[in-house]
Chains A and B, each alone.
Chain A
Amino acid sequence: MLIYIINRILQIIPVIFILSILVFGFVHALPGDVIDTLTATDGEEDPEVRAALEKEFGLDKPIYVQYFIWIGNVLQGDFGKSLVTRRPVNIELLERIPATVYLALVGIGLSILIAVPLGTLAAVRRNTLTDYTAQISSLAGISIPEFWFAILCILLFALHLGWLPSSGYAPFFSEPGKSIWYLILPALAVGFRQAAFTTRLTRSSMLDELSKDYVDTARSLGLSERKVIYKYTLRNAMIPTITISGLQLASLLGGTVVLETIFSWPGIGLAIYSAIQLRDFPVIQAGVLVLGIMVVIINLLVDITYRVLNPRVGMG
């Protein structure tokens, strides 16, 4: 197992390398002239200003040289500075990433809390009212467009019921109470949606497991139904659920843009999205790369968990 883990960690390096080229390529393919966008002159531009800015941001060099300079600096922990705010990118990201991770983690946690009991129940009581209720409520979560759902939630819980604040953010470590207060609504919006996927998946993998031979064997040996379900089948059925939750967590890292926009949640998705519009390339590059590395690490953890839980899978 240790060898496998080391092996997998080594495999991360080429993935990140591929990702860095992808990001760099995309960012430099974005249409529009960075310097022009930045200076936004109403007319003739000053070649001297252009030259100075190109030099300042290293745009005067050939593209591959720019890439190697960038990657070299990144390896030393320097992501350059934002074109727009002129603050170091590290500062720009340092405040953003925790906000997104916080939202995604709590959201996924909530979704598992909703999905696993619901999915198990639906599978065990297949084709009963419980099953249908579970299925329909899980489907409701995915059938509504996210932004629409979020705005409806705000109108209901903030405006009409007055239970929760409409939007906003406070960092967890300095103001934990306020922070959680602000988190509830967006985290529920994330969790409810993600639970729709995981409930279905838990249900179908439970059904898969329940139909397997060992279940019948266990039953014939006189083990109680409860023990069969909770000790053996659920454990196996959790494998795909964990795989998908891990992937969901990874995809949420850049996928909460819409919710971040609506809930005024100062996350990384919102930051990268704004940076794309402003062509703030150091921020886009760094943001996507850092998120990408986090995604890769999460995927690695998912893989390892997958193997721990399912020893039948070989050490390939």
Chain B
Amino acid sequence: MSDQQLQSRQRVDTISPDDTPFAIRMRRIQAVSRNALDELLKSKTATIGAIMMIFLLSVCILTPILATHSPIKTNYRIRLEPASAEHYFGTDKFGRDIYSRVLWGGQRIVLISLAAVTFGLILGIPLGVFAGFFGGRFDAISMRFVDGLIAFPGLLLYLLIITVAREWKLEGFWNDLILVFALGVNTMPEIARLTRGTAMVESKREYVEAAHVVGEGSFYIALREILPNIISPLIVNATVRLGFIILIIAALSFLGLGTPPPTPDWGSDLNVARQHMETNPMIAVYPGLAICYSVLAFNLFGDGLRDILDPRTQDR
């Protein structure tokens, strides 16, 4: 989405009449990437957020190389040990290597949140744009559906979906998919409403009406004119959501509906560690910090990105 946005903004200065379509495209891509970096460096929060996120994502990708131990191998003889050269973060109550668990848990949780938010966006944006732009019956019907989902209060939808799915005895990947599904479905209504709200405002603006006058089709207007304009609140929302999902997974772990052990999971590791909060606080600190770090990274990046992407705040 961000590329689309940047493209539309760069269009004016990159198109020259005598280029081949291929060259235009290449030049555009170059300009976009060069500009993106320049823009990124202008915003402090975005820079910090981007560095944090790049670090997080690289660690996730490099987990198989970085991890020193099996994340699920228990050994009670070395339980609750402090940090050492052998176990960088010490060991948990089962004698597992916390460092390796944090790494593997991170890879999993980051993938799940990305997938869930993407799923929510894919469902929510088109629904919201069309409902807000076209209004009328389509708006009424789709918003009743969204309302029905929103009316399903808070965590209870997750609790029910996961309780139902628990019995299916899904393992690993499939179990995570259920989580992605539940989290994505619950992300969708907020995205749809937000998109719709902005689309409603935008649809009354002069440039949309102008586009109508010029004779552009509704579908085209909706996509080309509205989408770029609603992107900033959406990105703010989606990045907050990324962090939020990590927190929801932690909350589900607290309620006993998190990832079944022994799969490494920040939320359930933190949850188990709360017993040792006063006696061995460090066990909780590592997964806890990992959660804080990721939530911060996503949020800072989102905040910065918003500033960059919004043309109206660009020159301020």
Task: Tell which of B135, B140, B300 touches A314, judged by Cβ atoms closer than 8 Å.
Answer: B135
Inter-chain contact B159/A276, CB cutoff 8 Å: yes
- Measured CB to CB, the closest approach of chain B to A33, in angstroms, equals 12
Counted as pairs of residues, one from A and one from B, with CB atoms less than 8 Å apart, the total is 184
Inter-chain contact A15/B144, CB cutoff 8 Å: yes
Inter-chain contact A146/B247, CB cutoff 8 Å: yes
- Asked whether any CB of chain A lies closer than 8 Å to the CB of B80, the reply is no
Inter-chain contact B233/A240, CB cutoff 8 Å: yes
A30 to B164, CA, bound (A): 5
Inter-chain contact A254/B312, CB cutoff 8 Å: no
Complex contacts, B307 vs chain A, CB 8 Å: 207
- Measured CB to CB, the closest approach of chain B to A300, in angstroms, equals 9
- Asked whether any CB of chain A lies closer than 8 Å to the CB of B163, the reply is yes
Inter-chain contact A143/B153, CB cutoff 8 Å: no
Knowing A19-B152, A143-B292, A204-B306, the reply to whether A243 touches B254 (Cβ < 8 A) is no
Please, what's the 1-or-0 string for B120-153, where 1 marks a CB less than 8 Å from any CB in chain A? 0000000000000001100110001101101111
Please, what's the 1-or-0 string for A132-150, where 1 marks a CB less than 8 Å from any CB in chain B? 0001000100111111100
- Asked whether any CB of chain B lies closer than 8 Å to the CB of A18, the reply is yes
Q: Which of A1-48 contact B (CB under 8 A)?
A: 11, 14-16, 18-19, 22-23, 26-27, 29-32
A197 to B233, CA, bound (A): 12
Inter-chain contact A19/B151, CB cutoff 8 Å: yes
Interface size on B, residues (CB 8 A): 64
Interface size on A, residues (CB 8 A): 65
- Asked whether any CB of chain A lies closer than 8 Å to the CB of B193, the reply is yes
Inter-chain contact B154/A251, CB cutoff 8 Å: yes
A269 to B158, CA, bound (A): 13
- Asked whether any CB of chain B lies closer than 8 Å to the CB of A129, the reply is no
- Measured CB to CB, the closest approach of chain A to B287, in angstroms, equals 9
A207 to B313, CA, bound (A): 7
- Asked whether any CB of chain A lies closer than 8 Å to the CB of B106, the reply is no
Task: Tell which of A26, A247, A291, A312 touches B204, judged by Cβ atoms closer than 8 Å.
Answer: A312
Most buried by B among A143, A211, A251, A293: A143
Nearest-CB residue, chain B, relative to A32: B167
- Measured CB to CB, the closest approach of chain B to A293, in angstroms, equals 8
A30 to B161, CA, bound (A): 9
Inter-chain contact B153/A30, CB cutoff 8 Å: no
Complex contacts, B113 vs chain A, CB 8 Å: none
Complex contacts, A295 vs chain B, CB 8 Å: 150-153
- Interface residues, chain B, CB within 8 Å of chain A? 44-45, 135-136, 139-140, 144-145, 147-148, 150-156, 159-161, 163-164, 166-167, 190, 193-194, 197, 200-201, 204, 232-233, 236, 240, 243-244, 247, 250-251, 254-255, 267, 270-271, 274, 277-278, 284, 288, 291-293, 295-296, 299-300, 303, 306-307, 310, 312-313, 316
- Interface residues, chain A, CB within 8 Å of chain B? 11, 14-16, 18-19, 22-23, 26-27, 29-32, 126-127, 135, 139, 142-148, 151, 155, 197, 200-201, 204, 207-208, 211-212, 240, 243, 247, 250-258, 261, 269, 272-273, 276, 288, 291-293, 295-296, 299, 306, 310, 312-314, 316
* Subset of 21 A-B contacts with CB under 8 Å: A27-B160, A139-B300, A142-B295, A145-B250, A148-B274, A148-B288, A155-B277, A200-B240, A208-B313, A252-B154, A254-B154, A255-B153, A276-B159, A288-B153, A292-B151, A292-B152, A296-B151, A306-B197, A313-B204, A316-B135, A316-B136
